[in-house]
Amino acid sequence: MASIARVHAPSGQRALIITSLAVPLTGWTVHAVSLHRKLAATRREIADRRDPLTGLLGRDGYTTRARQITDRYGDNALVAFVDLDHFKEINDGRGHAAGDRVLAATAQRLAAWAGSRGVVGRLGGDEFAVAVRIAPARRELRLAQLVTLLAQPVEIDGGSLVDVAASVGAASPDVLGTTDLSVLQRAADAAMYAGKHTGRAVLADRPHATVPSINGRRGGRPGTSILGAAA
């Protein structure tokens, strides 16, 4: 059998070869770590981004914090959706400055109601979401307080008052049997529209969680059309 010749490089040359191979690997490692840090910083920036009008978290930041609350507090967690009633009439009739004042006041009231154990987000337009820790025994009272708080007139420029009202739908893990935020939010959204203009908050039950939705939104809402047709 033919023998395999082995070429033995001097030790200095072997060290040079190893170093030459290691330099590209080290460069890629440093690049990967740097890229990872930049991506993490970008995610934190997005999560902490605030709505310039209300100062509330946007959808991404709210979702991150809300999921932490539902995962941590389980049956003591509550997710609520809030939609202002007749907001377009305020915007059209009293002007956009008045509409902005109503949105800012609503945000302040929601933040005060949620307190330090909750998080509030502006999902867009006059739509808000809240995730908060509330014991089931106090849930009905706290939701009634929220509806009353949101129905207080808002003072606009010139000292005049604007009458406002809001529809509120809520969902909780103990009723729905899940802490999945997407399920809770879908149910809260459906409950909110079930009680639209009733002047009371509606707590979702299991059927609310099965209402058909498109991209996580109840069918028929703005932005849920398919190929130009209403869902």
* DSSP reduced 3-state for 206: helix
Dihedral, CA atoms, 97, 89, 196, 149, nearest 10 degrees? 40
In the chain, alpha helices (H): 11-48, 59-73, 87-94, 96-114, 139-150, 173-176, 181-194
Kindly name the residue from 51, 83, 85, 126 that is annotated as catalytic.
126
Dihedral sign (CA 60, 62, 65, 66): negative
Alpha carbons within 13 angstroms on the beta-carbon side of residue 196 total 9
Task: Enter the DSSP assignment of 210.
Answer: G
**Pair of tokens at residue 100:** 């902005």
189 carries an active-site annotation: no
The residues carrying an active-site annotation are: 126
